[in-house]
């Protein structure tokens, strides 16, 4: 009868004859399932004292295999693997695995590395942690002994910044003591005015993209820099060219007016600073088209420049992963500070002059105390490179713009971002707080627009659209009457409200 059944249907448990099978007591097979018992009675399954096999062992082994597979997958999910495809390929190459399989994408390759690390176990994970620890050690900020000129400058900045900080706090207390309805009315009036901004003037700035622009302190003079290496001065609001400043032989990346230029500083003094991809910072007067002095940063590119609020120092961020500070009285470099792991692209001085914030292509924002030289706060949160940094007049808010299309506003007192604004549909190239009380922020992006945002509240007030190319830089006039944007389309545009009442 057993021979009549297909081979796949027969299960032979132990060697033995049918006679031996028939002599087995019924109690010896009671522990088996009814189907197996029926097979034994029918003679399809041989069962004898000579050998036995518990079928439950098969199911237990299968269960253990399934549990082991689940544990392996659970361990794989808990393993942190790189997100950069280049790093993933490098890790696979270290383990002797092919870096790419047919039809495999970056996500599949990342999952393959995760499963491989789970199979290799603790040794591979320990190696991964050691490498990560070594990388963190390499990125650690370190300090070295400075010069006597630097020590003197730190003391000078301390004495300069403390009275300004006291004055700022005094003004903040007075503002906070104002009745809420009065403050709300003032803010509403400002927002209503900002919503009326429109294009006042459009001017061709150069033959190549106009990369930077900034207003002078009297709001009657505008400086622009372009990829031709030329800097130009323009009258406001006529937008007529006053002077062409020739001194750079490569793209201008940063331009900045002295805080007292046009309002108290002599036109023959160093009223303007510019930095370019030739690695130089040029100092300009308002009376000549040749630089008064040229400061060599000994690097391949200067991305941004900014004057210290005192006007005595000028800071520059460079593509050698550092930022520098120059004393204009002696025209010497007093500080060459490293700290970022990739090029530094933006910097801003606090209005007191005591601290400085830098943003880099490593997606980090570092806050430096100029009085002690320490990095007091690293701000992490952006997913991509930080291109723009600006301090609020209140002294504790910092706005940053990034390649991740967002603007973050950080509160130094809380050591974290208080708001993230999805500002543009492309990278945020530049941003500026309003001067005075910092009630709004202007941002420019590679989506060819500039936008005005309320502060605080972070609501959009106005979109300034009109450029045919990427907006590369923005600024607001100190008197609050104008906003300027410079663009990849070789023009700069002046924006103003429909009515021009003075904002108090």
- Give yes or no for a contact between 259 and 307, defined as CB atoms under 8 angstroms apart: yes
- Give yes or no for a contact between 368 and 357, defined as CB atoms under 8 angstroms apart: yes
- Give yes or no for a contact between 416 and 408, defined as CB atoms under 8 angstroms apart: no
Question: How many C-beta atoms lie closer than 10 Å to residue 15's C-beta?
Answer: 10
> What beta strand segments (E) does 46-108 contain?
none
Round to whole Å and give the CA distance between 407 and 391.
Answer: 13
- Helix H, strand E, coil C: the string for 297-349 is CCCCCEEEEEECCCCCEEEEEECCCEEEEEECCCCEEEEEEECCCCCEEEEEE
pLDDT tens digits, 444-454: 999 999 999 99
- What pLDDT score does 444 carry? 96
Which tokens in the block code for residue 439? 């009630």
List the single range of 42-51, 252-261, 383-392 with lowest mean pLDDT. Answer: 42-51
Round the average pLDDT of the chain to a whole number and report it: 84
Mean pLDDT of 186-211: 92
- What pLDDT score does 6 carry? 44
Instruction: Select from 414, 322, 307, 416 the least CA-distant residue to 362.
Output: 322
- How many angstroms separate the Cα of 31 from the Cα of each of 18, 56, 59, 60, 404? 20, 10, 15, 16, 66
Mean pLDDT of 306-313: 95
Higher pLDDT, 491 or 178: 491
Higher pLDDT, 407 or 81: 407
Judged against a pLDDT cut of 90, whether residue 334 lies above it is answered with yes
Judged against a pLDDT cut of 70, whether residue 218 lies above it is answered with yes
- What pLDDT score does 348 carry? 95
DSSP character string of 18-68: HHHHHTS-GGGGTTS-HHHHHHHHHTSS--BTTB---THHHHHHHHHHHHH
- What pLDDT score does 20 carry? 46
What DSSP element (H or E) covers 405? none
Instruction: Select from 390, 260, 243 the least CA-distant residue to 312.
Output: 260
pLDDT tens digits, 406-453: 999 999 998 889 999 999 999 999 999 987 788 899 999 999 999 999
Q: Dihedral (C-alpha) 445, 446, 449, 455: value to the nearest 10 degrees?
A: -10
> What beta strand segments (E) does 181-285 contain?
198-204, 210-215, 221-226, 230-235, 241-246, 252-257, 272-276, 280-284
Judged against a pLDDT cut of 50, whether residue 260 lies above it is answered with yes
Judged against a pLDDT cut of 70, whether residue 217 lies above it is answered with yes
Instruction: Select from 315, 308, 372 the least CA-distant residue to 141.
Output: 372
Q: What angle do CA 45, 48, 53 make, to 5 degrees?
A: 70
- What pLDDT score does 48 carry? 56
**How buried is residue 222: exposed, middle or buried, by Cβ count under 10 Å (0-12/13-18/19+)?**
buried
pLDDT tens digits, 110-130: 888 888 887 776 555 555 555
- What pLDDT score does 499 carry? 58
Give me Rg for the CA atoms of the chain.
Answer: 35
List the single range of 91-105, 207-221, 227-241, 391-405 with lowest mean pLDDT. Answer: 91-105
- What pLDDT score does 298 carry? 77
Round to whole Å and give the CA distance between 397 and 350.
Answer: 10
- What pLDDT score does 1 carry? 45
List the single range of 181-185, 326-330, 370-374 with lowest mean pLDDT. Answer: 181-185
Judged against a pLDDT cut of 60, whether residue 62 lies above it is answered with yes
Which tokens in the block code for residue 171? 């003004």
Which tokens in the block code for residue 380? 């992490």
Round to whole Å and give the CA distance between 372 and 165.
Answer: 16
Instruction: State what percent of residues in the chain have pLDDT above 70.
Output: 83
Confidence of residue 32 (pLDDT cuts 50, 70, 90): low
Which tokens in the block code for residue 228? 């031709």
Judged against a pLDDT cut of 70, whether residue 85 lies above it is answered with yes
- What pLDDT score does 235 carry? 94
- How many angstroms separate the Cα of 341 from the Cα of each of 88, 98, 179, 324? 20, 30, 47, 15
What are the start-end ranges of the H helices in 178-229?
180-194
- What pLDDT score does 196 carry? 93
- Give yes or no for a contact between 222 and 484, defined as CB atoms under 8 angstroms apart: yes
Instruction: Select from 318, 352, 357, 353 the least CA-distant residue to 338.
Output: 318
- Give yes or no for a contact between 25 and 64, defined as CB atoms under 8 angstroms apart: no
Confidence of residue 101 (pLDDT cuts 50, 70, 90): confident
Rama region for 305: left / alpha / beta (φ>0; ψ in -120 to 50; rest): beta
Instruction: Supply φ then ψ for residue 156, to 5 degrees.
Output: -65, -45
Which tokens in the block code for residue 456? 């605080």
User: SS3 for 2?
Assistant: coil
Which tokens in the block code for residue 303? 């991305």
What DSSP element (H or E) covers 420? strand 416-421
- What pLDDT score does 58 carry? 62
- What pLDDT score does 88 carry? 84
Let me know how long the chain is.
Answer: 504
Instruction: State what percent of residues in the chain have pLDDT above 90.
Output: 56
């Amino acid at each position: 009868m057993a021979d009549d059944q297909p081979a796949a249907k027969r299960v032979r448990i132990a060697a033995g004859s049918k006679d031996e099978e028939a002599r087995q007591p019924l109690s010896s097979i009671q522990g088996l399932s009814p189907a197996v018992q029926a097979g034994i009675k029918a003679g399809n399954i041989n069962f004898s004292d000579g050998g036995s096999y518990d079928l439950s062992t098969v199911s237990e082994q299968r269960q253990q295999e399934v549990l082991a597979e689940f544990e392996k997958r659970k361990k794989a999910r808990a393993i942190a693997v790189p997100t950069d495809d280049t790093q993933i390929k490098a890790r696979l190459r270290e383990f002797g695995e092919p870096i790419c399989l047919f039809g495999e994408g970056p996500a599949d390759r990342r999952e393959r590395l995760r499963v491989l690390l789970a199979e290799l176990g603790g040794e591979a994970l320990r190696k991964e942690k050691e490498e990560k620890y070594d990388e963190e050690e390499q990125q650690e900020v370190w300090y070295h002994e400075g010069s006597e000129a630097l020590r003197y400058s730190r003391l000078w900045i301390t004495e300069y910044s403390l009275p300004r900080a006291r004055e700022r706090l005094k003004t903040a207390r007075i503002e906070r003591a104002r009745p809420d309805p009065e403050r709300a009315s003032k803010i509403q009036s400002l927002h209503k005015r900002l919503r009326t901004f429109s294009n006042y003037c459009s001017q061709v700035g150069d033959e190549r993209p106009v990369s930077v622009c900034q207003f002078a302190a009297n709001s009657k003079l505008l400086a622009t820099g372009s990829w031709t290496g030329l800097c130009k001065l323009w009258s406001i609001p006529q937008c007529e060219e006053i002077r062409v400043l020739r001194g750079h032989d490569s793209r201008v990346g940063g331009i900045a007016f002295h805080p007292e230029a046009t309002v108290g500083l002599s036109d023959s003094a160093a009223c303007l600073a510019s930095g370019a991809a030739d690695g130089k910072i040029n100092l300009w007067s308002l009376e000549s088209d040749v630089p008064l002095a040229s400061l060599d940063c000994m690097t391949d590119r200067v991305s941004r420049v900014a004057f210290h609020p005192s006007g005595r120092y000028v800071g520059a961020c460079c593509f050698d992963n550092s930022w520098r500070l120059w004393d204009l009285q002696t025209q010497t470099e007093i500080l060459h500070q490293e700290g970022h792991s990739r090029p530094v692209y933006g910097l801003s001085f606090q209005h007191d002059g005591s601290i400085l914030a830098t943003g880099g292509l490593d997606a980090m924002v570092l806050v430096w105390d100029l009085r002690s030289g320490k990095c007091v706060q690293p701000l992490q949160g952006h997913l991509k490179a930080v291109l723009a940094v600006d301090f609020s007049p209140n002294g504790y808010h910092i706005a940053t713009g990034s390649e991740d299309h967002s603007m973050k506003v950080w509160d130094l007192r809380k050591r974290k971002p208080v708001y993230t604004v999805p500002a543009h549909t492309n990278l945020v190239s530049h941003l500026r707080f309003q001067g005075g009380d910092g009630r709004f922020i202007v941002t420019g992006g590679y989506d060819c627009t500039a936008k005005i945002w309320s502060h605080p509240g972070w609501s959009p007030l106005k979109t300034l659209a009109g450029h045919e190319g990427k907006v590369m830089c923005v600024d607001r006039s100190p008197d609050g009457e104008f906003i300027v944007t410079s663009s990849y389309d070789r023009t700069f545009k002046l924006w103003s409200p429909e009515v021009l009442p003075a904002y108090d």
